[in-house]
Amino acid sequence: MDIKFNKNEDSMRLMISEMNQKLEKIYLGGGQKKIDKTHAQDKMTARERIDYLIDDKSDFLEIGAFVGDGMYKEYGGCPSGGVVIGLGYVKGRECVIVANDATVKAGAWFPITGKKNLRAQEIAMENHLPIIYLVDSAGIFLPLQADIFADKEHFGRIFRNNAKMSAMGITQISAVMGNCVAGGAYLPIMSDEALIVNKTGTIFLAGSYLVKSAIGEDVDNETLGGATTHTEISGVLDYKVENDEEALDTIKSLISKIGEPQTAGFNRIEPAKPKLDEKEIYGIVPEKRDTPFDMKEVILRLVDNSEFDEYKAGYGKTMVCGYARIDGWSVGIVANQRKIVKTKTNEMQFGGVIYTDSADKAAHFIMNCNQKRIPLLFMHDVTGFMVGSRSEHAGIIKDGAKMVNAMANSIVPKFSVVVGNSYGAGNYAMCGKAYDPQLMLAWPTAQIAVMSGKSASKTILQIQLATMKAKGEVISQEEQDRLAKEIEDEYTAKTSPYYAASQLWIDAIIDPLETRKAISMGIEAANHNPERKDYKLGVIRA
């Protein structure tokens, strides 16, 4: 291995180490004292409940671990948005699991909590997966109620989705394992079946203090909405259990009895590991985001047997397209090529840029995958579409629109992995968040923005200088350099994968070696939904 490879590998390992350190802190939720208090109440934490619920030695793909990162500092923060969600296997059945983290502000709902819960329901609805709610929440975080209560994608959308999923025949099971108050009480009641833990779980529209102030009645919370009340008197809940373990065991038993799902019929054979060493990805992906590398070398270390049937290998070389398998599943891969390449006419093309020929090739390949019912994997390392008179005259906008049309109307599952850059309209064409990927993932090397921090700072600085010049103001070169650095630093901070993950623009930041597992679990989930429409495109300019 050469020095460049070793430097890249060291850089990647450092980034992964930093990611894992961040995750260790996030996994503490509201902190060790809150965890100890939870245990003293004979309760498990949210992540402990999930660990107990899923099958031994099975995979769990957490969605949104970094949600809320750096947000709500004035309220002490909101690690993971106060809720843990993900895909896991319960009695061999892939399920969406949602667990309130009561160590974070008693599991109260911040605005980002609502967004994350809606993402969990979206995954369940898209893939026809059973969804399990482990409820332990104090309800809406009142200081921020205006940002979560009344809009279309706010708190009420959760219960609308409960009703829609029920009509779709999607199994919903809830366990009240702590507080469940006010509007939040509707979630377990709108589930198909609901459990409650005796002496720990309570569910009511208003707690004892509010009841006292509203109607003058003196009543304790257990009498008002405890397990005995709701399983023996009101009949609101279905199962009364004595502790967390019994609640989770009951859920396992219920899930084990669900009928077998229909499938979409996506092709899968016996999985095989890549023949080339996956760990070499660490040394191939460059430390610096503007350094060329061969994306095909990365692909060969991700796919089964390192076998890749490349489509139109000699045409549109800044886009790599082809067929492969990941963990046995047939996939069509669309990836940006970072190498600087030559065309047959000896014209140089910049790596990571989408040209007319590469957009045309990708559009045709995407159509083929839809025709054959093959799931699509987009691997981002794109700076955008090529600009300039030659590209405009060649019709770059037309061919870019063709690619976007083919991708946006796809009926097969789409998955996006941001390997490096994902800038501007390139993010859109490569199935960014706005285009409904089943999962949107990123490696620690990812950057997501309109353009790079360096390019943006130059543009913003020129606008500021022009404004100052119009006012007759003049600043020194030293001051210009200081301003440029300040703008670049502020902009670059918002291009990081952690910022994107905090906003839920991406579902997870993952170690590159977790990519095969994540894509396989995603395709398996999508295979549970047989209701795929015929592939139809809108008007495409020739």
Give the three-class secondary structure for 197. strand
Residue whose C-alpha is closest to residue 70's, from 35, 26, 33, 106: 26
| Other residues' Cβ atoms within 10 Å of the Cβ of residue 388 | 9
Mean pLDDT of 152-174: 94
CA distance 348 to 333: 24
| 542 pLDDT more than 70 | no
Average pLDDT of 24-50? 97
Phi and psi, residue 66, nearest 5°: -90, 5
| Residue 138 or residue 513, greater confidence | 513
Task: Write down the pLDDT at residue 473.
Answer: 80
Cα–Cα distance measured from residue 90 to residue 261, given in angstroms and rounded to the nearest whole number: 14
* Chain position carrying tokens 């499938």: 263
What is the distance between the alpha carbons of residues 536 and 527, in angstroms, rounded to a whole number?
20
**CA neighbor of 512 nearest in space, from 19, 94, 3, 40:** 19
Q: What is the 3-state secondary structure (H, E, C) of 36-94?
A: HHHHHCCCCCHHHHHHHHCCCCCCEEEECCCCCCCCCHHHCCCHHHHEEEEEEEECCEE
Distance CA(452)–CA(468), nearest Å, equals 24
Considering 183-187, 225-229, 331-335, 380-384, the range whose residues carry the highest mean pLDDT is 331-335
Residue 450 has a pLDDT of 84
Residues 454-493, buried b or exposed e (16+ Cβ, 10 A)? ebbbeebbeeebeeeeeeeeeeeeeeeeebbeebbeebbe
- Quote the pLDDT of residue 331: 98
Q: Can you read off the two tokens belonging to residue 152? A: 């279309």
> Once rounded to an integer, what is the mean pLDDT over residues 404-424?
96
The full DSSP string for 347-413 is -EE-TTEE-HHHHHHHHHHHHHHHHHT--EEEEEEE-EE--SHHHHHHTHHHHHHHHHHHHHT--S-
Residue 539 corresponds to which tokens in the numbers above?
């008007």
pLDDT beyond 80 at 395: no
Phi, psi of 116 (to 5 degrees): -70, -40
Express each pLDDT in 270-288 by its tens digit: 999 999 999 999 999 998 8
What residue spans of 190-319 are helical by DSSP H?
A: 208-215, 221-225, 227-228, 244-256, 281-284, 295-299
Q: pLDDT tier at 345 (50, 70, 90 boundaries)?
A: low
Of residues 389, 358, 398, 400, the one with CA closest to residue 542: 398
Closest CA to 269 of 298, 307, 310: 307
The pLDDT > 70 percentage for the chain reads 98
**pLDDT tens digits, 195-215:** 999 999 999 887 777 888 888
Spatial distance between the Cα atoms of 305 and 274, rounded to a whole number of angstroms:
4
**Which residue do the tokens 């629109």 mark?**
401
- CA-to-CA dists, residue 324 to 272, 276, 296, 300, 437, angstroms: 11, 14, 12, 9, 19
Q: Which residue has the higher pLDDT, 538 or 85?
A: 85
DSSP state of 109: B
Two structure tokens written together for 192: 């198909």
Chain segment 441-493, per-residue pLDDT in tens = 999 999 998 877 777 777 777 888 788 778 888 778 887 778 878 887 877 78
Provide the angle, in degrees to the nearest 10, between the axes of the packed helices 244-256 and 46-53. 40
> Does the pLDDT at position 509 exceed 70?
yes
The predicted pLDDT at position 27 comes to 97
Q: Which residues pair with 351 in a beta bridge?
A: none
Task: Report whether pLDDT(335) > 90.
Answer: yes
Is residue 346 packed enough to be buried (19+ CB in 10 Å), middle (13-18) or exposed (0-12)? Answer: exposed
pLDDT of the residue at 389 = 81
pLDDT, tens digit, for every residue of 450-459? Answer: 877 777 777 7
Look up residue 481 and give its amino acid: D
**What was the pLDDT predicted at 338?**
87
